[in-house]
């Protein structure tokens, strides 16, 4: 009888450890809860948005351009922080595209370079399409508003 109780406790302990181990394993397989960091971004909360490109003068976006960028940002979905950024050689990743200055004085820098979206120099895994649209929008501004200034 004593031996049977002892084996039940060992079996119960084994089952608990197995459940914890499987929970950790499956948590690593599937992405964390999706996040829409700019879902509630409103134009009235923003003082200005500036496009940054290399050594060229910064370009402050117009009201219409800000509205367009806000619309694009509202679709950005980020997953967990990316731990490979900086350890793997990624070509063509541009870490600072826009500075957003809020009316409360807070500033953040953002960039979209699929498969990463950067917020204050922290890389997050992201959905490709919305991130690529932000990147395309940035390069459109660079090519039509910033680079023509060099002539």
Write down the pLDDT at residue 29: 44
Q: 109: which residues sit within 8 A by CB, 6+ positions away?
A: 52, 96, 97, 98, 99, 100, 118, 119, 120, 121
User: How are beta strands 59-60 and 78-81 bridged, if at all?
Assistant: unpaired
User: In whole angstroms, what is the distance from residue 102 CA to residue 107 CA?
Assistant: 6
Q: What is the pTM of this model?
A: 0.72
Q: Is residue 67 part of a domain?
A: yes
Q: Among candidates 48, 51, 47, which has minimal Cα distance to 149?
A: 51
Domain assignment of residue 145, yes or no: yes
- Specify whether 118 is located in the same domain as 140: yes
Per-residue pLDDT of the chain (151 residues; tens, 9 = 90+): 556 667 777 777 778 787 676 666 555 444 445 788 998 899 999 999 999 988 888 999 999 999 999 999 999 999 888 877 666 656 556 668 999 999 999 999 999 888 889 898 888 889 899 999 999 999 999 999 988 765 5
Q: Tell whether 19 and 90 lie within a shared domain.
A: no
Does 66 map to a domain?
Answer: yes
| Amino acid 71: pLDDT | 96
* pLDDT on residue 31: 42
Q: Do 78 and 15 lie in a common domain?
A: no
Report pLDDT for 17. 82
Residues 75 and 139 in one domain: yes
DSSP symbols for 64-127: HHHHHHHHHHTT--EEEEPSSBTTB--SS--S--EEEEETTS-EEEEEEETTEEEETTEEEEE-
Number of domains comprising the chain: 2
Range of the domain at 75: 43-150
Tell me the C-alpha distance between 25 and 27, whole Å: 5
pLDDT at 33: 54
Q: Could you give the CA distance from residue 52 to residue 141 in angstroms, rounded to a whole number?
A: 10
d(Cα 144, Cα 151) in Å, to the nearest integer?
A: 12
66 and 130 assigned to the same domain: yes
One domain, residues 86 and 133: yes
Residues 9 and 66 in one domain: no
Query: Which residues 6+ apart lie within 8 Å of 146 measured at CB?
Result: 51, 53, 56, 57, 59
- Predicted pLDDT of residue 30: 45
Q: Which of 58, 38, 57, 46 lies closest to 110, judged by CA?
A: 38
Please give the Cα distance from 91 to 114 (Å, whole number): 11
């Amino acid at each position: 009888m004593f031996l049977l109780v002892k084996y039940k406790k060992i079996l119960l302990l084994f089952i608990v450890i197995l459940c914890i181990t499987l929970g950790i394993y499956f948590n690593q397989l599937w992405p964390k809860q999706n996040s829409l960091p700019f879902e509630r971004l409103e134009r009235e909360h923003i003082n200005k948005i500036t496009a940054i490109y290399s050594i060229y003068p910064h370009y402050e976006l117009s009201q219409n351009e800000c509205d367009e960028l806000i619309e694009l940002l509202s679709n950005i979905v980020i997953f967990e922080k990316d731990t490979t950024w900086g350890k793997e050689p990624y070509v063509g990743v541009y870490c600072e595209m826009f500075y957003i200055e809020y009316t409360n004085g807070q500033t953040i820098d953002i960039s979209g370079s699929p498969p990463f979206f950067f917020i204050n120099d922290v890389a997050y895994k992201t959905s490709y399409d919305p991130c690529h649209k932000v990147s395309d929008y940035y390069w459109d501004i660079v090519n039509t508003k910033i680079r023509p200034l060099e002539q």
